[in-house]
Amino acid sequence: MATAAARKVCDSFAPPENVANIIAGALSDEKLVDLKAGPSASLIKACRCVLEQRPNSVPDRDLEFTLCELLNDIWADKAWRAVFEKAGGKHTDELKNRCPLKKILEGARMALSFGNIDALDAYFSNFSRLATHATMMQDDTRTRAYYRAILGNRPDFEDKVVMDVGSGTGLLAFFAVQAGAKRVYCIEASPMAEVIKQLAEANGWSDKIVVVNKVLQEIRDGEIPEKVDAITSETLGNFLFAERGIETVIIARERWLKPGGKLYPSHASFCIAPFSDERAHRGLQVSSKNLWTNSDFYGIDLTCMEPRAFKESFRRPYSDQFHPDILKADCQTQIFDFRTLRSEELTRFKVDFEFTAKETCLTHGIAGWFEAHFEGSACSVILSTSPWDTLTHWWMTRLMLLEALAVNRGSAIVGSISFEASRQNSYKCALVMESGGTSRENDHLDLLDLDTAHRHPKHKQKQITTTTAISMIDWESTKATPSNPAAIVQDPMREAKLAAQRSEAAIGGPVGALPSKAATDLQKQDNVATEDKVRPFGSQIKVSGKAFIILNEPQSVAQWTKPSTPLVLVGSLGSSLLMTPQEQPYECLVEYVNGGAGISARYWMESNAAGEMIRSYVLKNQVPNTPTSLTSQQMEAFDLNKLFLVYDAMKTQINGNGH
């Protein structure tokens, strides 16, 4: 057997004691020998296990030197070679050459990006159902961000070769085809590969879609015969890292991306901040005692398990939606650049932090989320999962302390989150926080084992036929309940988001039917102020040759901001963004105002339509045959400013709420 021969070489080689057991264990594992794939592939799997289990005390370089010496000895061993020669096949030709040390070690490092066989089966099984993908696709924030990023950057896709890593249903690949891609390689290891083919055929794109139904790390040389111009991916997990999908993108980049090629997304901002949430912390304490405080459970005393149950409850990352008012210090952000990261950098790493408390309180842990950045040749887009923006299917994640940490306003909160890759295709984490000489920690947090019991999404009905409606999560209306009078922490990415939105406005959005000059029209009008302030109702602007007036119409805002209503960017107004319905361009404008409490929407109506609406409203709601009543003919003579004043006064009187 190959393992017996390799183990014998290992014993005679006598590797250093601090790695001897790890190496011997990998070489003795029959599951890591693949006679069909050949000798190099088998050694890659064994070395991958060794690198994954490397102790912190052993430098990467020292371990690689040891492996190089051992690999040369194994490759030269007659008994080991005989096993592969007897198996036959084209891969036995490898043995005629010198031991390919570089190929084996590079392959082992690349293979670090996914777990063991059992973990892979469980992982891809989860993504083999249409229902799983439906939830992600119906997350409008996610899907629309990818659509805008790809369709808004046609120069990066038009007549280009693209790779879609972790393709799922092929959604991103189809966006790339819509943006003019010549060919897209869809890498999908699960049975969803068949779904991609069916959808491609149904939409007439079969000639441009090439499906590769394999784990990316197992794709052999030559199976994808060319380099690609761009790589799309949606392999981001909860707390950014949960599913280790970033490493797969890195491997695709190293093997197939042309120099200067584009990654979508190109990088991510990992955002963290300390939080205070006594209710959530107390809830975990209570739930952990549910059964294990029972001293007479059918005659059995369970109370000795109470400490363990307590720790297990707090070792599960808390996944829900929270309001930013629970954050007690300005957020810290760290960029993870997919264009330059190496896989081994994500095997074991630490995120250090230092905050200044903005309030005297008890802190209960660290809250985290991410922002995915798409930097294209034409515009930039940011996909946000922050507590200031619309909820996404990633939700948000909190790492809880076992015991609260008291902090004083102005005091430092220092510590770290350590990440160690697990064979379950995820990470084990350890949290350490210290303030005022007191330290708290929680280790063995498992990003794969999320506590999702606290998610409370709202749902909406969507009519799909005249007689059938389906229920789906309403991400837009699912809101966290405020717990404090006001938030003391602001969105750290606010300016970056506004800059990205302005870059989209500069190209008129991804819909070609909208004139590209529309975004610059705002700057050409004398009656458009550029200062960053909220304009009062009744203000007027001109966009793309049309005049608009802002009205206090909450129902119209609700109508045009539904998730099912696609909007495209047409310009900016100070730090606000102006959008118009994709299907009815310039019928109205929706202004998104990014304020301290989050993003709110306001409604601008086209002036002629506004005049008609106001006249109808006044005639319908005024008291007839009084000295102040107006006729239709009288109102026809009013300009829009005077009409608005009449309308505004009447609404104020009727609703009893001034503007």
Torsional sign, CA 355, 360, 366, 368: negative
For residue 530, name the pLDDT band (cuts at 50, 70, 90).
very low
Is 606 found in the same domain as 571? yes
- Domain match, 362 and 253 both: no
Q: How confident is the model at residue 524 (pLDDT cuts 50, 70, 90)?
A: very low
Domain containing residue 572: 508-659
In this predicted model, what pLDDT tens digit does every residue of 540-587 receive, in sequence order? 888 877 889 999 888 888 888 887 777 877 777 766 788 888 888 889
More confident residue, 647 or 198: 198
- Residue 314 and residue 445 share a domain: yes
Does residue 421 lie within any of the structural domains?
yes
> Could you give the CA distance from residue 648 to residue 651 in angstroms, rounded to a whole number?
5
Using N-to-C axis directions, what is the helix angle for 607-621 and 640-655, rounded to 10°? 40
Residue 483, domain member (yes or no):
no
Task: Give the residue-averaged pLDDT of 235-246.
Answer: 93
The answer as to whether 212 is a domain residue is: yes
Would residue 487 count as lying in a domain? no
Distance CA 89, CA 85 (A): 8
Burial profile 175-196: b = 16 or more Cβ within 10 angstroms, e = fewer: bbbbbebebbbbbbbbebbebb
Confidence at residue 523, expressed as pLDDT on a 0 to 100 scale: 38
Examine the pLDDT at 256 and tell me if it is beyond 80.
Answer: yes
CB 360 within 8 A of CB 407: yes
Same domain as 370, residue 426 = yes
Q: Which two tokens stand for residue 383?
A: 């996909």
pLDDT value of position 231: 98
Domain count for the chain, please give it.
4
Indicate the range of 6-15, 114-123, 176-185, 193-202 predicted with least confidence. Answer: 114-123
In angstroms, the CA 275 to CA 285 distance is 17
Q: What is the mean pLDDT of the chain?
A: 86
What's the mean pLDDT in 241-260?
A: 93
Final residue of a structural domain among 111, 144, 169: 111
Identify the domain boundary among 77, 111, 145.
111
Which pLDDT belongs to residue 127? 65
In 213-286, the DSSP E strands lie at 228-233, 257-264, 267-275
CB 56 within 8 A of CB 419: no
Q: Judge whether 46 lies within some domain.
A: yes
The answer on 125 and 85 residing in a single domain is: no
Q: Are 527 and 658 in the same domain? A: yes
Among 81, 111, 141, the domain boundary falls at: 111
The pLDDT of residue 198 is above 90: yes
Same domain, residue pair 407 and 424: yes
Based on the fold, state whether residues 212 and 348 are members of the same structural domain. no
Q: Which single residue is written with the structure tokens 């005091």? A: 411
Instruction: Give the Cα separation of 565 and 560 in Å (integer).
Output: 6
Q: Is the pLDDT reported for residue 72 higher than 60?
A: yes
**pLDDT score, position 197:** 97
Q: Are residues 49 and 174 in the same domain?
A: no
Residue 168 lies in a domain: yes
CATH assignment at residue 189: 3.40.50.150
pLDDT > 80? residue 514: no
Structure confidence at residue 528 as a pLDDT band (50, 70, 90): very low
Does 236 share its domain with 281?
A: no
126 pLDDT tier (thresholds 50, 70, 90): low
The percentage of the chain sitting over the pLDDT mark of 70, rounded to a whole number, equals 90
Percent of the chain with pLDDT over 90: 51
Q: Does 106 share its domain with 154?
A: no
> Per mean pLDDT, which range of 27-41, 239-253, 422-436, 564-578 is the poorest?
564-578
- pLDDT, tens digit, for every residue of 73-102? 999 999 998 988 888 766 677 888 899 998
Confidence of residue 277 (pLDDT cuts 50, 70, 90): very high
CATH at residue 400: 2.70.160.11
Co-location of 107 and 185 in the same domain? no
> Using alpha carbons only, how large is the chain's radius of gyration in Å?
30
Q: Let me know if residue 202 belongs to a domain.
A: yes
- Is 617 among the domain residues? yes
Q: How many residues does the chain have?
A: 659
